[in-house]
Amino acid sequence: MTDTERHDFDVVVIGAGGAGLRAAIEARQMGARTALVCKSLLGKAHTVMAEGGIAAALGSVWPQDNWEVHFRDTMRGGKMLNNWRMAQIHALEAPDRVLELEEWGALFDRTPDGRILQRDFGGHRYARLAHVGDRTGLEMIRALQHRAVSIGIDVFMECKIVRLLQDPRGAVNGAVGFWRDSGSFVTFGAKAVVLATGGVGKAWKFTTNSWECTGDGMALALWAGADLIDMEAIQFHPTGMVWPPSARGLLVTEGVRGDGGVLLNRDGERFMFNYISPFFAAETAATIEEADQWYANKVDFRRPPELLPRDEVARAINSEVKAGRGSPHGGVYLDIASRRTPEEIRRLLPSMYHQFKELADVDITTTPMEVGPTCHYSMGGVRVEADTEATTIPGLYAAGEVAGGMHGSNRLGGNSLSDLVVFGRRAGRSAAEHAMQTPGDRVISEAQVAEVTRHATSYFDNKGTENPYAVHHDLQETMQSLVGIIRVESELLEAEDKLAELQDRASKCTVEGGVRFNPGWHLALDLESMLAVSNCTTLSAIARRESRGGHTREDYPGFRPEFENVNMVTRLVDGKYVVVQEPKPQMPDELAKLFEEEAH
Amino acid sequence: MAIDTEPAAATPPAQPPAAAPKDLVMRLWRGNASGGRFVEYRLEPQEGEVVLDVVHRIQASQAPDLAVRWNCKAGKCGSCSAEVNGRPALMCMTRMSTLPADEPITISPMRTFPIMRDLATDVSYNYEIAKLIPAFKPRPRDPDGLYRMAQVDIERGQEFHKCIECFLCQNVCHVIRDHEDNKPRYAGPRFFVRLAELEMHPLDTLDRRDYIRRVMGLGYCNITKCCTEVCPEEIHITDNAIIPLKERVVDAHYDPIAWLGRKIGRRPAPLPAAQAGEYTGAAHAQPAAGPAPGPGDHAPARSESGTGG
């Protein structure tokens, strides 16, 4: 295997969604020789599916908005589990990153005086999301993609990274992958590697996530010895399509509610008023009359409960359906038709109009949508240092959904796109600086490369009956039913056992056909990542005996003081997954004051 | 060309009992750069499926190594482009209920691009063209650090930004579909949309007109609108991007009388339909199984001569 194709770079970025593109751009602009490696074609990453907008306190609609308000909203939305420093950096830098996208060609919707228009979203005090109708992610990825191409970044498309490479001291010095088309292996030598591979939604049955979201970066980090944090925090977006079956889980943007849409049960009741938790009662409208006045006057009125953070809304929908007040296909109604004119709906929500028309035969300008919770986002991820995005392994950085900390136990809508560019840029910068301080070429261990390729191709030698598609199907069923939106210890323990069985079955998967563009083989390798991450999620979920944000325990409802200041850290020790509780970083007094002031 | 047109394979099965759901018959192109054939798969229909769902079920149950690209399955990433019953489309947005129920459904890869394997094609041509586009060059920001643009001035650009790069427009453009040798000197509809978006961007300061004419090959396009017809994002590629682009390019290079003529409302006449390739709207609605896209063969027989229609 010593004749493997080899490329050497200063910085290798794995993943070409918003975070990976922004990291690669930054590293390249810093003068580092930079490679961008992605599992799909360039411009197809899951970022294109982001709809509603990018959160930044630009203050162009509500001048009262500023970074402190955004910071506070983000922390409260995350139920205070967020890494405070990441939330602060994010709120401070997001406006500059949005303006930068505009400088690279993005065309955000405008205010009457020509500035960037901002839209309402759940958990945000003011209209804060810069957007392009309901296809903001596409706009963002294209602006970044064009920028990356124009500055000559080397892009390696349809290349799946299987393992990171490390020097004898453990520092990351490269990665091994294969071309999906030819199946031949390729080694990247690197002075620094940035993980920007996104989330792991494909481990669940009903998900908004695209094919690529198999937790690759989290698993690569884990296998290299890095820490993951708060893996129990999985966001179930309240509004996914529930019908037809094949479209189940597809995202229905929160922008529908931001633009006035309301949630109704079978009886036509705006049930969200029955689910206002004490944590948010002071800032949420108590009556329909008050809620409806808020859209035009955010100073004197409080936010409608439909715009509570996503974890709150998802749990409420789940409860309504369980109580027998759901829609015919097991969701609830999301009604924009009675709240906006058909012209407004088509202008504000063109993709939603198109999606329901094409896939469900539903005209959302006349008919309410049927929606229900769907697995959307992993708040947890690779543990990083807030300012530099350095992981616990030298030479390895992480940004975007693959990293943990920024969003605490629940992410606010719109904070993901801003996260990608804020921390993508910082990760690219840190990686380039690290590379420049690292003299000489990296010495890659041929034995490591050979071991990775031997392992990856071993699936062709298996002579069993296990099929990767069947194992994936069963993994999705397991995570959906046992590690879903509402969790309980007995089921989590059952999931642990099932995951062990699935791990065993996955290792015996037999791949038919050859190495050339063979999705069965690709899935067998993606399963390794999904299983590793699912194990961490389940272990963390067992350990956190409280309910917080995206982690809801039926047997431990509500916050518990002993977990308030705790990150759940998962890592591999001697080939076994372990979870330990570590204190989360404490915010300085001047920031803590922002929350005291709001308490009364 | 290595095409399997064995009629035996396409013979309809005996009618099942009336109560049983009738099996779907799917004919998928399987093969690689050196050849291939249509392979038939049968499976039960399920409610509300799109073509990609059925392809995934075939993959999971009968053909685990079936190569097919897809990412979002929501019409947003433009990965799963193929030719369904001869018609270029996104598999994730083509509902099975819109296809004839009693006939085999044929899925072949995009014909304009070289085959990688099965339904996956080598679309690198597009990424090479993308590198040739002169980048966005904005004017300086306003003194307060912002850019100001009126909504009305960006709406045309926003239409172009809807492009999901599915490359179906490139696939049907006869300039390259039927003439491989044009590829090096022709950007294609996707990139005319990109160039139009740059040219009409309120902040952009670069003049690309001469480059569009000389290097991007805009003149090869004879406005047959094949691209517009297949665009899943319903971008008016011809009317809103290509024709205005042609007018701008002409403005920069030709005489003032022609310019005046266009000012008073005349449009350049399209070339005769005979040159228009096969994707001419209604004429194409009738499904045709089409011949297999052969190895490295970019001008196989037209789909009208196919066997499955």
Specify the 3-state DSSP secondary structure of A553: strand
Beta bridge partners of A116: A110
Q: What is the pLDDT of residues B98-133, one digit of tens each?
A: 999 899 999 999 999 999 999 999 999 999 999 999
Report the predicted TM-score, pTM, of the whole model to 2 decimal places: 0.91
ipTM of this complex prediction, to 2 decimal places: 0.94
Q: Where are the domains of chain B?
A: 7-122+281-305, 124-275
Question: Mind listing the pLDDT tens digit for each residue in A272-311?
Answer: 999 999 999 999 999 999 999 999 998 899 999 999 999 9
Buried b (16+ CB within 10 A) or exposed e, A508-543: ebbbebebbbbbbbbbbbbbbbbbbbbbbbbbbbbb
% chain A with pLDDT above 90? 96
A368 in the same domain as A470? no
Written as one letter, the residue type at A158 is E
Q: Residue A110 above 90 pLDDT?
A: yes
Does residue A18 lie in a domain region?
no
Residue B286 has pLDDT above 90, yes or no: no
Give the 3-state secondary structure of A224-239: CCCCEECCCCEEEEEE
- Residue A11 and residue A128 in contact, taking contact as beta carbons nearer than 8 Å: no
Cβ contact (<8 Å) for A44 and B79?
Answer: yes
The shortest CB-CB distance from B123 to any of A41, A137, A360 is to A41
A381: alpha, beta or left, given left = phi > 0 and alpha = psi -120 to 50? left
Q: Are residues A363 and A465 in the same domain?
A: no
Distance CA A70, CA A86 (A): 12
Residue A76 distance to chain B (closest CA, Å): 30
Q: Is residue A342 part of a domain?
A: yes
pLDDT of amino acid A599:
44
Non-local (6+) Cβ contacts of A227 within 8 A are: A382, A383, A391, A392, A569, A570, A571
Q: Which fold has domain B124-275?
A: Fumarate Reductase Iron-sulfur Protein; Chain B, domain 2 (1.10.1060)
Confidence of residue A440 (pLDDT cuts 50, 70, 90): confident
Most A CBs within 10 Å: which of B66, B94, B117, as the mutation test of the A interface?
Answer: B117
Homologous superfamily, domain B7-122+281-305: Beta-grasp domain (3.10.20.30)
Q: Do B71 and A40 touch (CB under 8 A)?
A: yes
Q: Do B117 and A516 touch (CB under 8 A)?
A: yes
With respect to residue A58, please indicate whether it lies within any of the assigned structural domains: no
Q: Which residue type does A213 have?
A: C
Closest CA–CA distance from residue B20 to any residue of chain A (Å): 21
**What domain range includes position A330?**
237-373
Tell me the CATH number at A250.
Answer: 3.90.700.10
Q: Mean pLDDT of all residues in chain A? A: 96
pLDDT, residue A387, reads 98
A282 to chain B, minimum CA–CA distance in Å? Answer: 35
Residue B258 banded pLDDT, cuts 50, 70, 90? low
pLDDT of residue B289: 37
Residue B234 has pLDDT above 70, yes or no: yes
Whether A537 is in a domain gets the answer yes
User: CATH code at A492?
Assistant: 1.20.58.100
State residue A411's pLDDT score.
97
Q: Grade residue A85 by pLDDT with cuts at 50, 70 and 90.
A: very high
Give the alpha-carbon dihedral of B286, B287, B290, B296, to 10 degrees: 90
- The full 3-state SS of B91-146, as one line of letters, equals HHHCEHHHCCCCCCEEEECCCCCCEEECCEECCHHHHHHHHCCCCCCECCCCCCCC
- Exposed (0-12), middle (13-18) or buried (19+): which is B124, by Cβ within 10 Å? middle
Per-residue confidence (pLDDT) for residue A596, from 0 to 100: 84
Is the per-residue pLDDT at A2 higher than 70?
Answer: no
**DSSP readout, B34-48?**
TEEEEEEEEE---TT
Domain membership flag for residue A149: no
Identical fold between B7-122+281-305 and B124-275: no
The confidence score (pLDDT) of residue B43 equals 96
The answer to whether position A255 is within a domain reads yes
Interface contact flag, A469 B61, Cβ < 8 Å: yes
Name which of B95, B146, B161 is nearest A142 (Cβ-Cβ). Answer: B161
A113 and B CB contact within 8 Å: yes
Question: Quick check: is A516 catalytic?
Answer: no
3-state secondary structure A17-37: CHHHHHHHHHHHHCCCCEEEE
A242 and A364 share one domain: yes
- How many domains does one find in chain A? 2
Question: A-B interface: how many C-beta pairs under 8 angstroms?
Answer: 165
Of the listed A28, A72, A257, A548, which one is catalytic? A257
Structural domain contains residue A360: yes
Angle, vertex CA A352, rays to CA A347 and CA A354, nearest 5: 85
Q: How far is residue A526 CA from its own chain's centroid? A: 17
Q: Distance between CA atoms of A149 and A183, rounded to whole angstroms?
A: 25
Query: What part of A 24-43 touches B (C-beta under 8 Å)?
Result: 40-43
Q: Are B149 and A110 in contact (CB under 8 A)?
A: yes
Q: What is A137-196 written as a DSSP string?
A: HHHHHHHHHHHHHHTT-EEE-SEEEEEEEE-TTS-EEEEEEEETTT--EEEEEEEEEEE-
Query: Where a domain ends, among A331, A349, A373?
Result: A373
A105 in B contact zone (CB under 8 Å): yes
Is A159's pLDDT higher than 80?
A: yes
Task: Write the CA distances from B59 to A308, A339, B62, integer angstroms.
Answer: 41, 43, 6
Q: Is A237 a catalytic residue?
A: yes
Distance CA A147, CA A153 (A): 9
Identify the domain boundary among A373, A397, A432: A373
Close Cβ partners of A527 (under 8 Å, ≥ 6 residues apart): A214, A468, A471, A472, A475, A506, A509
Report the alpha-carbon distance of residue A101 to residue B148 in Å, rounded. Answer: 14
Mutate to test the interface with B, among A58, A101, A118, A138 (most CBs of B within 10 A): A138
Which pLDDT belongs to residue B292? 36
Averaged pLDDT, A237-257: 93
Using a CB-CB cut-off of 8 Å, the residues of chain B touching A48 are: 71-72, 76-77, 164
Examine the domain organization and report whether A369 and A471 are in the same domain: no
A373-431 residue pLDDT tens: 999 999 999 999 999 999 999 999 999 999 999 999 999 999 999 999 999 999 999 99
